[in-house]
Amino acid sequence: MKKNKIALLGGNPIQDSPLKPYNTISSAEIKKANEVLNSGQLSGYIAAPGENFLGGKWTKKLEEDFCRKFEIKHSITLNSATSALHAALIAAGVGEDDEVITSPYTMAASATTAVMCGAKPIFVDIEPDYFCLDVEKVKKAITSKTKVIMAVNIFGQPANLKKLRKIADEKNIILIEDNAQAPGAKFNNLYTGTIGHMGIFSLNRHKTIQTGEGGVIVTNSKCLADRCRLVRNHGEAVIPETSEFNGHEDIIGYNYRLTELQSAIAIPQLKRLDKLNKRRQELASFLFEEISKFNFLKPPKIRNRCTHVYYLFPMKYDSSVLKVSRDKFIEAINAEGFPVANYVRPLMEIPLFKRKFGNTKNLDLQNYPITKNLWEESMIITSICRPPLNITDMKNFVRAIDKVANSANLLRDL
């Protein structure tokens, strides 16, 4: 009897030991790291005119590899994706009193980096099925102060990038893709991150490829690339001594430099990106079919002519079927040993924005019905669609869902 009793009520969990952690480090990364350590040159940067203003050999090699992989002209490495977002906004000319349109349903840096520039984030509600910026609502949010549209390719799937780029070009606005969660995904056979004027990649410890911390900007614009490079490495120190960068005297630089050690580790990671994504897609495909059998859960929809790389696997939960709240359902699945959660708090709920901009219409969650519903009632995410987990782990996850669903009547009283 205890075997079938849900773990939340004292039964044995389906998964009674921790799932294997995500680990993309192989002997290739260790070999590269040792090469750098043995050289003694852990960073190649100098904040002064000359060859080392652009970093060392491993950093330059990683940038070349990014350009080759994503078929893009320029690549700029930085020490985090947050630094990359900030640098991209500065490169786009964002400053005091400007506005940056972005999603309220994403990690905070997509909006806080606008504040770091002295600008105001303007939140626009998202699509109910794909969870990215709603194009029609973006059109209505554009004002004379709008400088950038920050599109977030959330969970591993592209935003409606073709339409967003068209709007940006018509309005003389820069489109930046926050592509931290979708490296290697495609929109109409084009890589995400390459459709906007700039695209941001993350090398954070839990991303598909990782160096602990790190970020990359890609762009086809030499002007934007040069400005990003100046932001990265105390650019004011090389103007006007380096004529290549003259004309960008408005930029204050930072120390956003990626080390040689991190760059060297990222090189074999990037080579394995397609393989890592393929495994995520295989696991997600199995889970998609199984989740579709439950009438209280909906697996993610995939945009037409796009690919999904499943940084996370999102599901929409219908509490009216089991008569169990979403949060109680999440608690019960976690008790069975599987990681599920609500997604991040909507950004307008972060106290920073209310303190800085007041209780404006832009910061009232009631004005974002899709985001509000996902946050309060329906969104469930899981990170299990990743190696080294396998189909057996997916089957056990589905077993946990079925087990909890069969005890719904007991959960209602908790």
Which segment, 50-54, 235-239, 379-383, is predicted with the most confidence on average?
Answer: 379-383
Tens of pLDDT, residue by residue over 65-92, are 999 999 999 999 999 999 999 999 999 9
Minimal CA–CA distance to 378: which of 313, 309, 320? 320
For residue 36, what is the enclosing H or E element? helix 27-39
pLDDT band at 2 (very low <50, low <70, confident <90, very high): low
* Cβ atoms of 251 and 235 closer than 8 Å: yes
- Given a cut of 50, whether residue 1 has pLDDT beyond it is no
Percent of the chain surpassing pLDDT 90: 93
Average pLDDT, the chain: 96
Q: Which domains does the chain have, with CATH numbers?
A: 7-15+273-411 (3.90.1150.10), 27-271 (3.40.640.10)
Measured between alpha carbons, how far is 86 from 114 in angstroms, rounded to an integer?
7
**What is the pTM (predicted TM-score) of this model?**
0.96
Tens of pLDDT, residue by residue over 204-252, are 999 999 999 999 999 999 999 999 999 999 999 998 877 788 889 999 9
- CA angle (410 as vertex; 406, 414 as ends), nearest 5: 135
Q: What is the mean pLDDT of residues 285-295?
A: 97
Tens of pLDDT, residue by residue over 119-153, are 999 999 999 999 999 999 999 999 999 999 999 99
Residue with tokens 């169990």: 324
Q: b/e map of 357-376 (b: 16 or more CB within 10 Å)?
A: eeeeebbebeebebbbebbe
- Given a cut of 60, whether residue 368 has pLDDT beyond it is yes
pLDDT of residue 240: 80
- CA angle (185 as vertex; 147, 284 as ends), nearest 5: 130
